[in-house]
């Protein structure tokens, strides 16, 4: 992305960038560049900015406007490369531009500084920086990605993330198999990384939005019930991160893969994880239902979403007794990995200090709405069954996955503190599903989600 108001300088810079192999989007002022950045989903690797820029074409250009844009770009695109042109390369400006800039990864030689400041007559130096950076990106593009026949195509960011992982292992190819992703659009893969001489690593990789922190729920669970994160990678991934998870077996798979075909086996495998989660220490508290459900959705936003479907949401000020403690926060069968015959949790991005019933409730409903669930769709219990038996011992009776439903409901019974707690969490989790486009695109799924939300709202109002 090139932002330069001097036509001659813009032409020179664009020629150098295109000659190096970059696709270039050019702007001559700040306002249209900001508009593009607000709406674009393009993977932007390199920003070339003039320091002195106008907000709109034809208006006066100032250093202050350019510096504001530089700060925005550096903050919002934390692992992109930035080259800043200035006619007055003061020491102070160089220091301000480089502060917090960091470095980008390199396999050989010195890492590349993320921010470089040049004067406008340094076209040769500019070309050197551009060519060196393009060579780094080409080394990523050279890595082969092998996917199973018939698998869904990877988007550009997923490709970059996987190549970035292989790059860190000095790999030349990476064979990947999807293990499913969360409703936060995160992706999880089993990866075999190869060098020219053969395989060097087999890991599970998960794309995340933040590196996370030590401590929390993973440290409170038995080691057998979690998969250790051996490293977190960043750089050249649109500001995202990869958690690299250690695996013991050669063929790990998601619990989601077997709940439809082998529900009894799924229950047997996952029960130790449920027991471990239930065993985490908790405090008895009395909250409002709005505070209780805050880890899932803002109560006012929930009311707004469900009003569209004619469902009145009870007041968020209702008092509710619960047991609060560290919770997974987004527990679904895609976040449980079967590794070497043992179930382990692999995703703590949504970890929250929340109600004890939260995890089993999200496990139950996510089985029905998750885009990767084999139960979702035609095999899902119908609206009439939801209206008559949801959350009772009859729910799922006669369904091939009856044992799965009954077992999850038993886990909910072990964890919940009160009827009000249960129905508030069901309402919040079911209601928030209509924020997701994959749900809205399926009329039958919407109908069933709304049936759950309606039943929960009525039960909560009468609690």
d(CA 290, CA 301): 11
Residue 383 confidence (pLDDT): 87
pTM listed for this prediction:
0.74
Give the residue, 394 or 246, on which the prediction is more confident: 394
Whether the predicted pLDDT of 183 surpasses 50: no
Q: What is the mean pLDDT of residues 401-405?
A: 92
Q: What is the mean pLDDT of residues 177-185?
A: 58
d(CA 363, CA 119): 57
Give the residue, 106 or 317, on which the prediction is more confident: 317
CB atoms within 10 A of CB 227: 23
Distance set, CA 11 to CA 47, 108, 239 (Å): 15, 32, 29
> Could you read off the pLDDT of 148-164 as tens digits, one per residue?
998 888 989 999 999 99
d(CA 203, CA 19): 37
Largest Cα–Cα separation, the chain? 77
Angle at 416 between CA 186 and CA 398, to 5 degrees: 75
The mean predicted confidence, pLDDT, of the chain is 89
Give the residue, 298 or 87, on which the prediction is more confident: 298
Among 93, 114, 138, the domain-final residue is 138
Among 214, 245, 276, the domain-final residue is 245
Give residue 126's pLDDT band: very low, low, confident or very high (50, 70, 90).
Answer: very high
Tokens 């399926």 appear where? Answer: 442
Q: Is 377 helix (H, G, I), strand (E, B) or coil?
A: coil
CB atoms within 10 A of CB 433: 25
Which tokens go with 280? 């985490």
- Are 82 and 34 found together in one domain? yes
> Which H or E element spans position 323?
strand 319-327
Cα torsion 207, 209, 210, 212: sign: negative
Identify which of 206, 218, 209 has the alpha carbon closest to the alpha carbon of residue 240. 209
- Are 125 and 211 found together in one domain? no
Specify which residues 337 forms β-bridges with: 254, 344
Give residue 18's pLDDT band: very low, low, confident or very high (50, 70, 90).
Answer: very high
Which tokens go with 427? 């309402």
Whether the predicted pLDDT of 97 surpasses 80: no
Q: What is the mean pLDDT of residues 308-337?
A: 94
- Are 203 and 265 found together in one domain? no
Do β-strands 81-86 and 115-119 pair in parallel, antiparallel, or remain unpaired?
parallel
Looking at the chain, the whole-number percentage of residues with pLDDT higher than 70 is 93
Helices (H), 190-262: 217-220
Residue 250 confidence (pLDDT): 74
- Are 453 and 324 found together in one domain? yes
- Are 222 and 297 found together in one domain? no
| Cβ(12)–Cβ(48) below 8 Å | no
- Greatest mean pLDDT range, 15-29, 79-93, 218-232: 15-29
Q: Mind giving me the DSSP string for 379-399?
A: TSPPHHHHHHHTTSTTTTTTS
Identify which of 213, 259, 216 has the alpha carbon closest to the alpha carbon of residue 232. 213
Q: Is 9 helix (H, G, I), strand (E, B) or coil?
A: helix
The sheet that has 144-146: what strands, in order across it? 144-146, 173-178, 188-195, 198-208, 241-245, 229-234
Whether the predicted pLDDT of 185 surpasses 50: no
Residue 230 confidence (pLDDT): 83
d(CA 197, CA 271): 41
Residue 326 confidence (pLDDT): 93
Which tokens go with 107? 């396999």
- Are 154 and 126 found together in one domain? no
Tokens 């989660």 appear where? Answer: 277
- Are 236 and 258 found together in one domain? no
Q: What is the mean pLDDT of residues 96-120?
A: 76
- Are 228 and 258 found together in one domain? no
Three state DSSP letters for 82-134: EEEEECCCCHHHHHHHHCCCCEECCCCCCCEECEEEEECCCHHHHHHHHHHHH
- Greatest mean pLDDT range, 41-45, 177-181, 346-350, 406-410: 406-410
Phi–psi pair at 308, nearest 5 degrees? -60, -30
Whether the predicted pLDDT of 80 surpasses 70: yes
CB atoms within 10 A of CB 241: 19
- Are 319 and 204 found together in one domain? no
Cα distance from N-terminal residue to C-terminal residue, the chain: 56
d(CA 206, CA 158): 10
Whether the predicted pLDDT of 92 surpasses 80: no
> Could you read off the pLDDT of 241-282 as tens digits, one per residue?
898 987 767 778 889 889 989 999 999 999 999 999 999 989
- Are 266 and 131 found together in one domain? no
Which tokens go with 182? 């969360």
Domain count, the chain: 3
Range with the poorest average pLDDT among 2-6, 190-194, 205-209: 205-209
| Cβ(104)–Cβ(111) below 8 Å | yes
Identify which of 114, 109, 136, 123 has the alpha carbon closest to the alpha carbon of residue 47. 114
Identify which of 204, 181, 180 has the alpha carbon closest to the alpha carbon of residue 191. 204
Tokens 């490369």 appear where? Answer: 81
CATH number for position 292: 3.90.1200
Among 138, 162, 179, the domain-final residue is 138
- Are 32 and 87 found together in one domain? yes
> Could you read off the pLDDT of 52-70 as tens digits, one per residue?
899 998 898 888 888 889 8
Q: What is the mean pLDDT of residues 386-403?
A: 90
- Are 277 and 426 found together in one domain? yes
CATH number for position 54: 3.40.50.2300
Residue 160's domain comprises 144-245
């Amino acid at each position: 992305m090139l932002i330069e108001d001097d036509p001659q300088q813009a032409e020179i810079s664009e020629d150098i960038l295109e000659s190096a192999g970059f696709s270039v989007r050019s702007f001559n002022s700040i306002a249209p560049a900001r508009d593009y950045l607000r709406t674009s989903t393009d993977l932007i690797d390199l920003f070339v900015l003039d320091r002195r820029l106008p907000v709109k074409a034809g208006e006066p250009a100032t250093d202050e406007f350019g510096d504001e844009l530089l700060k925005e770009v550096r903050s919002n695109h934390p692992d992109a490369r930035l080259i800043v042109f200035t006619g007055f390369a003061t020491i102070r400006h160089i220091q301000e531009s480089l502060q917090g800039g960091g470095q980008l990864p390199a396999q050989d030689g010195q890492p590349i500084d993320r921010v470089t400041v040049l004067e406008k007559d340094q076209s040769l130096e500019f070309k050197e920086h551009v060519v060196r950076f393009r060579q780094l990106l080409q080394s990523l593009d050279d890595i082969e990605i092998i996917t199973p026949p018939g698998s869904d195509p990877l988007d550009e960011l997923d490709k970059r993330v996987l190549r970035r992982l292989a790059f860190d292992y000095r790999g030349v190819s990476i064979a990947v198999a999807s293990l499913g992703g969360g409703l936060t659009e995160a992706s999880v893969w089993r990866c075999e990384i190869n060098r020219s001489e053969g395989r060097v690593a087999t890991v599970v990789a998960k794309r995340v939005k933040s590196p996370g922190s030590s401590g929390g729920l993973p440290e409170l669970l038995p080691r057998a019930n979690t998969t250790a994160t051996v490293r977190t990678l960043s750089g050249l991934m649109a500001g995202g991160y990869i958690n690299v998870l250690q695996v013991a077996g050669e063929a790990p798979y998601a619990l989601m893969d077997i709940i439809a075909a082998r529900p009894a086996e799924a229950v047997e495998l996952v029960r130790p994880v449920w027991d471990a989660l239930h065993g985490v220490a908790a405090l008895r508290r009395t909250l409002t239902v709005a505070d209780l459900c805050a880890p899932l959705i803002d109560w006012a936003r929930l009311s707004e979403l469900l009003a569209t479907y004619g469902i009145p949401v009870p007041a968020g000020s209702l008092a509710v007794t619960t047991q609060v403690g560290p919770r997974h926060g987004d527990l679904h069968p895609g976040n449980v990995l079967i590794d070497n015959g043992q179930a382990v949790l692999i995703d703590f991005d949504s970890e929250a200090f929340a109600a004890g019933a939260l995890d089993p409730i999200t496990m139950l409903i996510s089985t029905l709405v998750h885009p990767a669930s084999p139960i979702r769709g035609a095999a899902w219990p119908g609206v009439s069954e939801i209206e008559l038996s949801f959350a009772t011992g009859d729910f799922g009776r006669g369904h091939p996955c009856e044992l799965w439903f009954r077992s999850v409901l038993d886990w909910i019974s072990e964890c919940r503190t009160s009827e009000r707690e249960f129905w508030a969490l069901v309402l919040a989790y079911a209601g928030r599903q209509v924020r997701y486009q994959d749900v809205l695109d399926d009329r039958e799924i919407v109908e069933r989600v709304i049936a759950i939300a309606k039943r929960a709202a009525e039960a909560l109002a009468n609690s």
